[in-house]
Structure 1
Amino acid sequence: MTWQHDTMMNPPIEGLLERADSKFRLVTLGAKRARQINSYFGQLGDGPGQLVPPQVTSVARKPLSIAFEEIAADKIEAVQIDPEALAAEAQAEADAIAAAAKSSGE
């Protein structure tokens, strides 16, 4: 009789890699979400906050494990950002700040 041994990581890495196009994106996405979850638990009791609570019911107590469970459940997904649009937005913001500084200095 053969058993299926649980891996060190639950959900298994193979299933998580199907949700992201690279290991780097998976780790980045998991780390960012884990930081948000950790901040959410840190601000409990301080009144309503701006952070999104965990999107899955989990027995895991670690924010990174909860984040990976959210990714496996398709609650969190990576979004591609166009670098040119991001640069144009940053330039427009810098121009607005420069214009405001120039008008307040006159």
Structure 2
Amino acid sequence: MRSTATLRMLQPTARMMFAPSTRAMFRPSTRMMRPVPKEDQAGHTISQRLRKLKQIPAELIPLAVVVGFAVFAAGYSVVRKFVVDKNLRLSRQGAAGREEH
């Protein structure tokens, strides 16, 4: 036999008995009620994009120069290695390599 406290917990409350109104069911979310925010990347002309560059912190410009130089030097080194190195095997050599495949 169940106790009366347990039976009270299982009974629906007055709020549960009533179905939600259609207004409450189809209410727009608060996010959709707010105005659409302006885009940060809305600059379409070159002058507008140059004005956006002024917002970059000055500390990042030397870092960008160093990283750009490092990427350029790495690309140069790889291309030079492929062009200059005569020991680099770029294709199969000899009759043995042709027969196996």
- After TM superposition, the score normalised by the length of structure 1 is 0.27
- After TM superposition, the score normalised by the length of structure 2 is 0.27
Q: Which has the larger radius of gyration?
A: 2
Higher relative contact order, structure no. (Cα contacts within 8 Å, ≥ 6 residues apart): 1
